Chain A
Amino acid sequence: DVKVTQSSRYLVKRTGEKVFLECVQDMDHENMFWYRQDPGLGLRLIYFSYDVKMKEKGDIPEGYSVSREKKERFSLILESASTNQTSMYLCAGPGPGELFFGEGSRLTVL
């Protein structure tokens, strides 16, 4: 199975701060994904990447950007955090059909 590691489990940031969420996968896969999870809304795709330096917008990319400089690492960036970005962020890498998820990063923006 793919192992997906998110470096920060809990973060508290102030409005306007720049926030980096880091994700690393161990299987040399091309595809990686960032989702946002909110109660009652399930998981919504923010961005995905299908190779180094390649990215595609998901359903809710506004207010976010991503970086994929190395195949194993996919970073989600909040250029100027806002309170409505308080959420659980989940990174995923592909398996044989399914996705494997990291433990999640719970971000609170004050």
Chain B
Amino acid sequence: AQSVAQPEDQVNVAEGNPLTVKCTYSVSGNPYLFWYVQYPNRGLQFLLKYITGDNLVKGSYGFEAEFNKSQTSFHLKKPSALVSDSALYFCAVRPVNNNDMRFGAGTRLTVKP
């Protein structure tokens, strides 16, 4: 079965600095990959996805992610962090042929002024 690893429980960055939230995955066959963000006591909001095509995917709020098939990674990035980006981020993977989506444990991003 597919799985996702988010190796960092917490990421701290200063406002204006670039940020990276890491994700690696395991899946049989080709993957669909996703990033979600969660603000306190809210549901998950979809940020971006990789389905096929260009390995660099751009999403909401200036976020982007790069699919790296050889490293089985899908790291989330943003060139300049905002305090309002502080939230819990989840990476998810599913095979292309079914709806069985698996989530990582989440990474808490804190952006300090």
Chain A residues within CB distance 8 Å of chain B: 4, 6, 9, 31, 33, 35, 40-45, 48, 50, 90, 94-95, 97-104, 106
B42's contact among A98, A99, A103, by CB below 8 Å, is which?
Answer: A103
Contact B104–A95 (Cβ < 8 Å): no
Q: How far is the CB of B61 from chain A (nearest CB, A)?
A: 16
B41's contact among A33, A43, A104, by CB below 8 Å, is which?
Answer: A104
Contacts of B42 in A (CB 8 A): 103-104
Contact B43–A90 (Cβ < 8 Å): yes
Contacts of B9 in A (CB 8 A): 40
A-B contact pairs, 25 of them (CB 8 A): A6-B43, A31-B99, A35-B103, A40-B105, A41-B105, A42-B90, A42-B104, A42-B106, A43-B90, A43-B103, A45-B100, A90-B43, A90-B44, A94-B99, A98-B46, A99-B34, A99-B101, A101-B36, A101-B43, A101-B44, A101-B45, A103-B42, A103-B43, A104-B41, A104-B43
Known contacts A43-B90, A94-B99, A98-B49; A106/B41 CB under 8 A: yes
Contacts of A42 in B (CB 8 A): 4, 90, 103-106
Q: How far is the CB of A46 from chain B (nearest CB, A)?
A: 13
Contacts of A31 in B (CB 8 A): 99
Q: How far is the CB of A109 from chain B (nearest CB, A)?
A: 18
Answer whether residue B51 sits at the interface, using C-beta atoms and an 8 A cutoff.
yes
Contact B90–A95 (Cβ < 8 Å): no
Known contacts A40-B105, A42-B104, A42-B106; A97/B43 CB under 8 A: no
Chain A residue nearest in CB terms to B45? A101
Type the 1/0 row for B37-66, where 1 means its CB is closer than 8 Å to any CB of A.
000011111100101000000000000000
Most buried by A among B46, B101, B105: B101
Top 3 A-B pairs ranked by shortest CB distance?
Answer: A101-B43, A43-B103, A42-B103
For the A-B complex with A40-B9, A43-B90 known, give 15 more contacts whose Cβ atoms are closer than 8 Å.
A6-B43, A33-B101, A35-B103, A41-B105, A42-B4, A42-B105, A43-B103, A45-B101, A90-B43, A97-B49, A98-B49, A99-B34, A100-B46, A101-B36, A101-B43
